[in-house]
Structure 1
């Protein structure tokens, strides 16, 4: 047996092998191993377990065995005389301490060997320390996100209101859980109609139903949303065959939240902008016919863009409806004016504060960064997404927008956005954020 201890900053080592130690361990061969890890009776313990104090019964037993191995006790002299001599040597520091076991002893011992000893309570405590934490005792993180929303609309300077929107903060309250899945969900959309409001209203009433009824929902949400956009477009075409007065079109931008998953789908020039710790993150791309990517797609299909208009008829390159326009729509995938949405998906984090979705009447006078900064200041003041949406609409009117206005603000926290300190930059800016945005639009061919 090897025992190592460090009393009073001095190392000493005592090694012996004695057949009589089998009495202590009942023939099971428990061992004290010098160094970190040992195995005794099939129980593995690491170096941190080796510093646990020994049970008192075992400690006293080993002490008595060590006393028998002391030369003073085996010389045949009187025990009292030997004890006095050992104490004198211990006091003078010229020999090892009389108590070789202390709190710093490294050990590896099988607690099963001590089950019948008088230290059953100590063994029970030691074995409990090795058990994993009960799952019920682990504190669960607070649920996130906690969704709140508010919306506002205004006819603006137009004679007719052609916008529509939808807000559902909790899908399970409107639909059965078997349709929306186990995770909490929410759905939002803004629809900017043109040539009338019929297409915008039709999409608002039917798009979500097509999403939930799709065979790919909820296993593949992106495919379900893509199919739903196309099915809604075809369903409106059939409705127009029955009633030609319904002929109109609409752009569409929708937001579907399931748990922490955020999916934004867009067909047209509406826009979604996420505020991530004060920074504006665009979640959609404007589908203007003059943009380079859309122009290339249109020209590859045999169409053209004249003065920013698709085939000289429509300013957007993607929309639902407009089946009355000659040469723009067909039931195939290669349509000049397509209803297929572009989608962007992400996982919400604690840094994501709110999302703004709005029709192009807002973005004609607001940049994405400007809208986020404006909304963030307002939310810090009153923390009300509906009032924030109303204030965005009022500010757009003050900036002289010439279109219908629809804005929806979606917050992901119950508290207002935190105030952020100024972030020092090593280089002074010579151009504003809005200037950079305008420059990017010029490079993209959108202006």
Structure 2
């Protein structure tokens, strides 16, 4: 019987997980960002998984109106995912990762949101955006509610693994307006600069009712290959001043030189500060190899020349237009 770990005669890619993170309060008076990095989830929890390794979990949480909601979600979201019975059975039996993980993560987001409504220690005006990345073997699942961002580096190219849930994003505006909300100058109901978040129960409908401010995550799925070099996840303080492509280029150059994900994270934060970002800063870089990224051989540029006679004809045509 053919080995299931073989594909077209070649062994499937198995990532070697390393991560680093960096945070900074920036120009704000208080720090409202939180994050979590677990490179070896089975070891971290003391559980014996029979599914493929590695098994890792990462998250960034951008709080607003205080850090309470971000701290609560950071402390509870992973537990809620892992308590899902179907998800644990899938992991132990090497089942369909994406189906079970999406279900478990979606339920965890919604449960965490409902728990915030009942937590007297968290003010009802306090909320947080949430982005997590879950890795099982070579399967990567990203879940996002808000304007944190996940970007994959695939052989030097930036691949978006999330959308920024801004209220004026066309699909979000349609959903908001269909549920009785409105968008004013880029703000949901004139108050909040994101269209999805956990918490903010002073803005949401009663429990069980659809709300213009949604806590439901969007998902992106990837089967990692040897071309996938690293993942960047960060709060919007980074992305307000640094494009995804710029971030990927910076991290790749830093990894090639120093091969240290934490140093890469610090570099991104320092660059965002240099670009005068006005927000808190949190970024996590997850490398999928023990080695630095390889040098990419670019094809030589090709130049096309126009003969003098052809150029004169073209100029005459343009002047006659």
TM-score normalised according to structure 1 size? 0.61
The structure with higher relative contact order (CA 8 Å, sep 6+) is 2
Say whether 1:423 aligns with 2:303: no
| Displacement of 1:421 | 1.8
SS across alignment from 1:228: helix
Structure 1 residues 341-380: aligned runs within 5 Å: 341-380=217-256
The structure 2 residue matched to 1:255, chosen from 123, 133, 148, is 133
| Displacement of 1:277 | 0.2
Query: Aligned residue for 1:336?
Result: 212
Q: Does structure 1 conserve the Cα–Cα contact (< 8 Å) formed by 2:27 and 2:280? A: yes
Q: Which has more radius of gyration?
A: 1
Q: Does structure 2 conserve the Cα–Cα contact (< 8 Å) formed by 1:378 and 1:388? A: yes
Distance 1:307 1:214, change over 3 A: same
Say whether 1:145 aligns with 2:30: no
Summarize deviations over 1:240-279 as a string: whole Å, max 9, x none.
xx33647410000000001110000000000000000001
Query: Aligned residue for 1:308?
Result: 186
Aligned equivalents of 1:427, 1:299: Cα separation in 2: 51
The structure 2 residue matched to 1:289, chosen from 148, 162, 167, is 167
Query: Aligned residue for 2:81?
Result: 211
The structure 2 residue matched to 1:412, chosen from 269, 288, 308, is 288
Aligned equivalents of 1:142, 1:279: Cα separation in 2: 21
Q: Does structure 2 conserve the Cα–Cα contact (< 8 Å) formed by 1:199 and 1:247? A: no
| Displacement of 1:331 | 2.4
| Displacement of 1:235 | 1.0
| Displacement of 1:214 | 1.2
SS across alignment from 2:193: coil
Worse-matched range after superposition: 415-424 or 248-257 = 415-424
Aligned equivalents of 1:244, 1:154: Cα separation in 2: 23
Q: Does structure 2 conserve the Cα–Cα contact (< 8 Å) formed by 1:198 and 1:246? A: no
Q: Does structure 1 conserve the Cα–Cα contact (< 8 Å) formed by 2:56 and 2:134? A: yes
Query: Aligned residue for 1:163?
Result: 33
Distance 1:291 1:245, change over 3 A: closer
Structure 1 residues 30-49: aligned runs within 5 Å: none
Distance 1:249 1:142, change over 3 A: same
Distance 1:339 1:181, change over 3 A: farther
Aligned equivalents of 1:308, 1:427: Cα separation in 2: 44
Query: Aligned residue for 2:116?
Result: 236
Q: Does structure 2 conserve the Cα–Cα contact (< 8 Å) formed by 1:199 and 1:246? A: no
| Displacement of 1:140 | 9.3
SS across alignment from 2:165: coil
Say whether 1:196 aligns with 2:76: no
Summarize deviations over 1:366-417 as a string: whole Å, max 9, x none.
1111110111111111000001100110011001100000000000000101
Structure 1 unmatched runs, 5+: 1-131, 134-138, 429-447
Provide the aligned C-alpha RMSD in A.
2.2
Number of residue pairs the alignment of both structures matches: 288
Q: Does structure 1 conserve the Cα–Cα contact (< 8 Å) formed by 2:69 and 2:122? A: no
Aligned equivalents of 2:70, 2:162: Cα separation in 1: 19
Query: Aligned residue for 1:226?
Result: 106
Distance 1:244 1:371, change over 3 A: closer
| Displacement of 1:419 | 0.8
Aligned equivalents of 1:302, 1:140: Cα separation in 2: 53
| Displacement of 1:301 | 1.1
Query: Aligned residue for 1:11?
Result: none
